[in-house]
Structure 1
Amino acid sequence: MDQTKSKALFTKACDVIPGGVNSPVRAFKSVGGTPPFISHAKGAHIFDVDGNKYVDFIGSWGPMILGHANDEVLGEIARVMEKGTSFGAPTELEITMAEAIIERVPAVDVVRLVNSGTEATMSAIRLARGVTKRDKCIKFNGCYHGHGDSFLIAAGSGATTLGIPNSPGVTKATAQDTLLANFNDIESVKEVFEKYPEDIACVIVEPIAGNMGCIPPQDNFLQDLRTLCSKYNALLIFDEVMTGFRVARGGANELYGVDPDLLCFGKVIGGGLPIGAYGGKRDLMNHVAPAGPVYQAGTLSGNPVAVTAGLETLKRLTPEVYETLEEIGGYMQSKLHDIITKNGYPLSQTRVGSMVCLFFTPNEVRNFADVQKCDLEKFNLFFHEMLKQGVYLAPSQFEAGFLGICHTKEIIDEVAEKAQKALSVVFS
């Protein structure tokens, strides 16, 4: 596989951009090698500057459910751009987007548009603290909610200890307000609440953990979180930046039937353009400025270009599309299952709708500690073998993969054949 131009661009980028990339995972540090520099994309495929073609299972990290460069979505973006790209003033499109989210998500009455998923989660945490007059927040090891200071916290000596910063620039004081528990381990959450019964403003969780692979909630985990938060008068926040409008028309809120107090969105509602949102019940959201005292603002929030891309994407995500996505996801899962069982490979896989992950461990994966036991060397080898064959996977064992309606059964059959070849090399 020729990477001459990508290597030259990466060298050049490292001179002017930290690490040569604008989001760390793109640097390929965890898997090694040179990241392909993408020139264009269409449908289920992306193309790099060296002319290599890949079947794409990243999909801009989730939003490209309709495939890359959808003609209808691009047409609407172009039409709206002719009128202007941003005004710093209200537009009717913002109302339409808010109504579209509210109509789809059972737990949302009122929505505030922002510019990214990180901004949505940061704002939701501030709102929770402002409403409850409490400082502490529970998050889960392995769940990622953007790069806000409150979220860049690693575990101390145990799941219920106060967090310590895992990035320079995050103060110890900030870290001390973030408490940690383990995903799919409700007892670890109970211990934290029992230790700080009057101090916890909220629990924030990815309802399907997508930043340690793809790990669904088990054993009524989300329902039990809802019960605990209600018992201790803390708010429950679903970070649906990744799952919202991907795993179901109404996201994980609809899929699992658990109503959080606040929800955060991104990815899909921008159709690949930068956007985010947070929302919840009216009495909570009315605390947000200018309706209330909890301040949050953004110059480009709700800009017509990003909103249009998202609206046109949502319009096309009909119930029939989600049925298709489920069928595609199930088909890929069955193909991989056949490969794993036929050859006795020490692998496991998870899937929720069109979110997928292949783990390089034979054991069930329930939380971050389980993912850390994966054979990362074998994953890295598999990743590069697939890349050579023209399949672009997430360059980390700790990331989910994403399917779209352009991933036909024919494409999946092709990818399964390549996976068989790659795995035979990995386990030879």
Structure 2
Amino acid sequence: MLYLFRLLFLLINIDQETVLNWFGLENPNNGTILSDNVNLSTIEFASKSALSIETCRLIVEGLWQQVQDGLTLADIENLLFFILFIRFVILTIRYNLKTSFYITSIGLFAGYLWYRHLIDLIGLYRSMLIQLPYLRKLGIDAIQLSSISRQVIMTDLKLGDNVHWYNPGQVLYYALIKGIIKTDPETGLRYYIDPISMFIANLDESQKENILPIYYKLYNKIIPQAFEAISKFWTQLSGIAAYAVITRIGKKYCPYLVRWHWTFLLIIGFIEQIFIYFSFRVSYFQSNILIPELELSSTYEDPNLLFQVNFLNGLLAFIICLHFGLVFFGLFHAIWGQYFYFPFLVENTELHIGPRPKNSIYSGGNTSWQDEKEQNIQRVFPKLWYGWFGSGTKNSKSLVSSLQKLIRNIIKRVRSNFRK
């Protein structure tokens, strides 16, 4: 399998232009611009057909200029898939193609849980993200996502363009709406073509007088209200139901990495509500009390009010950045197939799913706090640092050195393949 992976490199013309196009960067020699309107015409190629240090410099500079105007969901997704690709290559060199695919897929699923949680947080903070310079584009993306969801719920006019495979509820709703409910092109009236409606349409007029009131009450009131109630119920419990089915009932087939990160996400959801509602109250106080009072004092600016507005802006920015930073911390650990330690939260997570199986290569990285469990019980204050990627403080130096050796070996192999 490893030889098959090496053969794939021979089928692709890997040069500087190919790599830049893979990152979404145009050829600077043509005087074109980046995908975010960043001109690179002043940058000269050191070598057009060969990979070099100049290529890496162009990639770093181009990607850095892309995010100068603000971070977007597309930038986050590109970075995540780039990390997954690098990890896939490293694992393929270390194991084989099949094992690398399995391990990368496990990390992708665990990272998907964190990414969906990140999208939910962006949707909650969207009104506050608009006010932050660097995160303004994230707020715009959240508003666009919410408008699309609202359009799907309120009307089926453009539902066919917005139905995706990863949302089976929309697919089912679209199929029912387009398959059962039809509109007469001449009169504009809507009618049903389900078996019950077709049966009632063929009844005699005397029979219709008694059945039609019940029929219209069923289709116009009972069914829509029942569908709305079931939808709200499913929205509230779908996550818990999926968690119970996959991590509890299907525990034998669910990897430990997925169960650990999913359980950790459910636990921190209770603590996150404190940050979210506190931010909402601060934003409400600022926009409905302080700013109107500041606008009323048109003759002079009250320094006290101005200080409060600026202070609350900084407080909101700090809370949102801290919250997003913690989510990014968990997201990148999940993508890399690693674990991290937070006092009290990790202990509760592992009470639900148990210790990590150490005899499986699919269980992810290290959890050194599980090895020191007896020592942690005797400590008055919990230990906060367990080395890089949970490898332990004693093994942190050896881990760094082993990573350096691994990176050097990969660079040597890549150079040797390119020279051939």
- Scaled by the length of structure 2, the TM-score of the pair is 0.23
Larger Rg: 2
User: Which structure has the highest strand share of the two?
Assistant: 1
Higher relative contact order (CA 8 A, sep 6+): 1
- Scaled by the length of structure 1, the TM-score of the pair is 0.22
